[in-house]
Amino acid sequence: MRIASTLELQDKPGQLLAALTPLSALGGNIISIVHHRDQRTSRGKIPVQIVFEIDENKRQFLVKRLEKSGIAVASIDEHPLIERESVILIGHIIHTDIKDTIDHIDSTGFAEVTDISVAMPAINGESSAYMIIEAIGKSELVAAIDLLKEIADQKDLLVIEPVRN
């Protein structure tokens, strides 16, 4: 089972190793680690996102071992967003309610807009938006992009996708 988790680590040497040791001991396989050393949680700890694979029966043992080691498990999710694509929208993005467009993608339950940057050179002119869409799998990402294209057609927006190999 692939799992995404956010851990909260103290800012002292050895904490990341302490967090990874129980995962290794239970036969887990690390897919990715993002260590936000320059950020702090509301409790003053460092957030670390880890995506890993582990036998479903060992998941609760892992959480208990982490907590016993003093590692706070802020979140654990069985459906991490592991596929990502960037797109560009061009048109009257703000005037056609960009929030509505984002809400449609986020409401799928399998994909969400995780980043957006909007350029609006003139109040009544066309604008552009760079968006990153993430999903739980490749087919779900394709479905989310297809949904975005349907919405864009209804709102007379142009969607530009990166070229896939």
- Provide the angle, in degrees to the nearest 10, between the axes of the packed helices 98-106 and 138-154: 150
Q: Is the pLDDT of residue 68 over 60?
A: yes
Closest CA to 131 of 143, 119, 122: 119
pLDDT band at 100 (very low <50, low <70, confident <90, very high): very high
What whole-number distance in Å separates Cα of residue 7 and Cα of residue 9? Answer: 6
Between residues 33 and 79, the one the model is more confident about: 33
* φ, ψ of residue 115 in degrees (nearest 5): -160, 145
What whole-number distance in Å separates Cα of residue 11 and Cα of residue 37? Answer: 8
**What is the dotted CATH code of the domain comprising 83-160?**
3.30.70.260
Give the pTM.
0.55
Which residue intervals of the chain bear CATH 3.30.70.260? 2-77, 83-160
Residue range 2-77 forms a domain whose CATH class is alpha beta
pLDDT band at 165 (very low <50, low <70, confident <90, very high): very low
